[in-house]
């Protein structure tokens, strides 16, 4: 992800909301975040340091509390195998803004969140020493969707409620395990039929 561009978008959101709302935006970003200087798992970013990266590994009850304290969850991702953090945020009813592709396409849509537009481009992946086509979230789309959710927060809450129902009705660990067992059983039956 182009972190500098995404940070610029968040900073621009604060500016676009006007000086009167800038402090409110800063409170929204920081709500629920109590930095612990001993663990170093918080990083303040941006010119005004009003974007907070929270890198803690929290127990489930604290993680749920963190999602409940957030006003929005934003995931402008290059790709997800599933999108666990997005599905966690959705399960709590937190309004979500995310790229809908790869794994997230199975459960995320406009009816339950705000989709970020993206481009498919070749990128040098230095860590893997290869060039690959990847999804690049559009920074202007991330900002536009944020402002849309911010300006109609009641609508954002309604999408969050729909998202929570979807995840809690269809994508629980128990339902996923049951479906996996059904698939494995069918594979076993097919294998036995072929062998016979």
Q: Where are the domains of the chain?
A: 3-171
55 neighbors 35 (Cβ within 8 angstroms): no
Helix (H, G, I), strand (E, B) or coil at 194: helix
Kindly state the DSSP code that residue 117 receives in the 8-state scheme: P
Task: Output the tens digit of pLDDT for each of the chain's 196 residues.
Answer: 445 555 666 666 666 655 545 554 444 444 444 444 434 555 655 565 656 666 778 899 988 998 998 889 998 887 888 899 999 999 999 999 999 988 899 999 999 999 999 998 888 877 778 888 888 888 889 889 988 999 999 999 999 999 999 999 999 889 989 999 999 999 998 888 888 7
Q: Which distant-in-sequence residues (6+ apart) come within 8 Å of 38 by Cβ? A: none
Q: And the tokens for 12?
A: 């621009």
54 neighbors 41 (Cβ within 8 angstroms): yes
The pLDDT assigned to 13 comes to: 64
The pLDDT assigned to 31 comes to: 43
169 neighbors 112 (Cβ within 8 angstroms): no
Q: Name the CATH architecture for the domain at 3-171.
A: 3-Layer(aba) Sandwich (3.40)
pTM of the model: 0.73
32 φ, ψ (degrees, to nearest 5): 80, -5
The pLDDT assigned to 121 comes to: 87
Q: And the tokens for 72?
A: 């929005």
The pLDDT assigned to 47 comes to: 62
Q: What is the largest CA-CA distance in the chain?
A: 75
């Amino acid at each position: 992800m182009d972190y500098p561009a995404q940070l610029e978008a968040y900073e621009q959101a604060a500016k676009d909301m006007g000086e009167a709302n800038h402090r409110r935006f800063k409170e929204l970003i920081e709500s629920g975040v109590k930095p612990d200087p001993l663990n170093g798992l918080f990083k303040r970013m941006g010119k005004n340091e009003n974007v907070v990266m929270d890198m803690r590994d929290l127990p489930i009850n604290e993680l749920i509390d963190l999602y409940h304290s957030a006003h929005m969850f934003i995931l402008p991702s290059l790709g997800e195998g599933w999108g666990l953090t997005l599905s966690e945020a959705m399960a709590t009813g937190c309004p979500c803004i995310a790229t809908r592709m790869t794994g997230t396409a199975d459960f995320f849509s406009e009816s339950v969140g705000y989709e970020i537009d993206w481009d498919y481009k070749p990128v040098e992946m230095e860590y893997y020493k290869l060039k690959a086509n990847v999804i690049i979230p559009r920074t202007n789309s991330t900002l536009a969707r944020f402002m849309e959710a911010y300006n109609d927060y009641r609508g954002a809450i309604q999408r969050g409620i729909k998202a929570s129902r979807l995840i809690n009705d269809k994508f629980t660990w128990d339902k996923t395990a049951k479906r996996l067992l059904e698939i494995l059983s069918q594979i076993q039956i097919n294998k036995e039929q072929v062998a016979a």
